[in-house]
Amino acid sequence: MIHTIKTTSTLKTVKQEFEAKAKEMGFHILNSYSFKERVYNNSLPIDKVITVFELYNPPGSQQALHLAEISVYLPCRVAIYVEDRYTVLSTMGFENLLKSVQIDDGFKTHMSIIFENIKRVMHSWDRDTKAYKVRQKADLYMINPIIRGSHKM
């Protein structure tokens, strides 16, 4: 499953602000790259400009790597590109990850919080929309334990 959102903010704006928005939610940028410019070095014709940001949350990564098979899902990636006049942000859904390995409920909750925070980063540019305001009222930030490092398993 892929989690995708669209925003009317420009690609340039989203790319410039992405690291700061991620940091607000407790993430660091491990790497970022453009498929067109870096990965394929223009040796293959790629029309679409796709920028990938690799995110990690130090406490989350430490917990996740207790199960070595989860390492194939890390770091978390968010792809940013333009489609139909919208800036699109996409990431892999964690639902498949959580179903693919045997984990206890506490760890599943921890990983769900991490994924919700990635989605909050992705939704950072839709603050003026009705959907954002409804989300804000519904789930009033679950990030505090992770940012403070006080979430224990």
The tens digit of pLDDT for each residue in 52-91 reads: 999 988 887 777 777 777 777 788 999 999 999 999 999 9
Do the domain assignments include residue 96? yes
Backbone angles phi, psi at 113, to 5 degrees: -65, -45
Do the domain assignments include residue 153? no
In the predicted model, what is the mean pLDDT of the chain?
A: 79
- Most distant CA pair in the chain, distance: 48
Q: What is the pLDDT of residues 21-37, one digit of tens each?
A: 999 999 999 999 988 77
pLDDT of residue 130: 47
Q: For residue 140, give the CATH number of its domain.
A: 3.30.310.70
pLDDT of residue 81: 96
Do the domain assignments include residue 63? yes
pLDDT of residue 29: 96
Closest CA to 86 of 19, 27, 2, 6: 6
142 with 118: CB under 8 angstroms?
no
Number of domains within the chain: 1
17 versus 139: the higher-pLDDT residue is 17
Q: Please give the residue range of the domain that contains residue 16.
A: 2-148
Do the domain assignments include residue 135? yes
Using 50, 70 and 90 to split pLDDT, how confident is the model at 134? very low
Do the domain assignments include residue 73? yes
Using 50, 70 and 90 to split pLDDT, how confident is the model at 150? very low
Do the domain assignments include residue 143? yes
Closest CA to 124 of 33, 1, 16, 29: 16
Tokens 């506490």 found at: 106
